[in-house]
């Protein structure tokens, strides 16, 4: 006897529909995985771009360091007491170039000048510089957690305690220090 209600066809359609919803076709699975990979890649590129931009802005990385590098030239050993330090120079269109380093051993010299020792954070090169005592310094942790502006001469007592605070030291195009900014997020406790 032939079923005239169409129940058999309806049940067959329902079974096919349930099978499609339970197991997506191969094309849908491939498209979903591709979308997932694209979202992950975009998230990585976005976060990597933020980190790279921050590192470039803080002077930790240099755009000149990307790509193939030439072999280092043979260098003659320097005489004892000479420094390997070369002041950073501002990029074209920039007013200052910065280096991150520990600033310590502040000593007041004659003529209202302060001599400090700077140990570069990236390379470990240590050098001494003499700067005016009126050089502006942005501080936070050095001033007991109170953010503000001070002069280098006011910090001599605190800077004499050894390499404890990290500063961004700003140099002009002639290699002179123009200001210091405490990098309190890098401060050693």
How many degrees, rounded to 5, is the angle at CA 188 between CA 155 and CA 146?
45
Q: Are residues 125 and 180 in the same domain?
A: yes
Per-residue confidence of the chain (189 residues) as pLDDT tens digits? Answer: 455 777 888 888 887 777 666 655 666 777 777 777 778 777 777 766 666 666 666 666 555 555 555 544 444 444 445 456 777 788 888 888 888 899 999 899 988 899 999 998 888 889 898 999 999 999 888 888 788 899 998 888 888 778 888 898 998 888 888 999 988 655 455
Structural contact between residues 157 and 89, judged by C-beta atoms closer than 8 angstroms: no
CA distance readout (Å), 153 to 14, 35, 109, 115: 85, 58, 10, 10
Q: Would you call 164 exposed, middle or buried from its count of C-beta atoms within 10 A (0-12, 13-18, 19+)?
A: middle
To the question of pTM greater than 0.85 for the whole model, the response is: no
Q: Are residues 179 and 107 in the same domain?
A: yes
Give the per-residue pLDDT at 78: 44
Those residues whose C-beta lies under 8 Å from the C-beta of residue 76, and which sit 6 or more positions away, are none
Q: What is the DSSP string of 74-97?
A: P-PPPPTT--------PPTT-S-E
Rounded distance between C-alpha atoms, residue 150 and residue 187, angstroms: 18
Give the per-residue pLDDT at 157: 84
Flag whether 169 is in a domain: yes
Domain around 122: 97-186
Q: Are residues 115 and 53 in the same domain?
A: no
Give the per-residue pLDDT at 73: 45
Q: Are residues 36 and 101 in the same domain?
A: no
> How many domains, the chain?
2
């Amino acid at each position: 006897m032939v079923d005239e209600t169409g129940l058999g066809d309806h049940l067959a359609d329902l079974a096919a529909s349930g099978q499609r919803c339970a197991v997506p076709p191969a094309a849908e699975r491939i498209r979903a995985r591709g979308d997932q990979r694209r979202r992950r890649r975009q998230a990585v590129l976005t976060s990597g771009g933020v980190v790279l931009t921050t590192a470039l802005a803080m002077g930790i990385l240099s755009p000149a360091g990307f790509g193939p590098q030439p072999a280092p030239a043979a260098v003659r050993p320097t005489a004892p007491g000479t420094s390997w330090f070369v002041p950073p120079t501002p990029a074209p269109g920039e007013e200052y170039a910065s280096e991150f380093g520990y600033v310590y051993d502040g000593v007041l010299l004659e003529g209202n000048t302060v001599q400090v020792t700077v140990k570069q954070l990236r390379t470990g090169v240590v050098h001494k510089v003499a700067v005016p005592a009126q050089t502006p310094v942005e501080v936070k942790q050095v001033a007991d957690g109170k953010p503000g502006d001070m002069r280098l001469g006011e910090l001599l007592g605190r800077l004499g305690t050894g390499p404890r605070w990290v500063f961004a030291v700003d140099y002009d195009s002639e290699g002179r220090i123009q200001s210091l900014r405490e990098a309190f997020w890098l401060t050693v406790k």
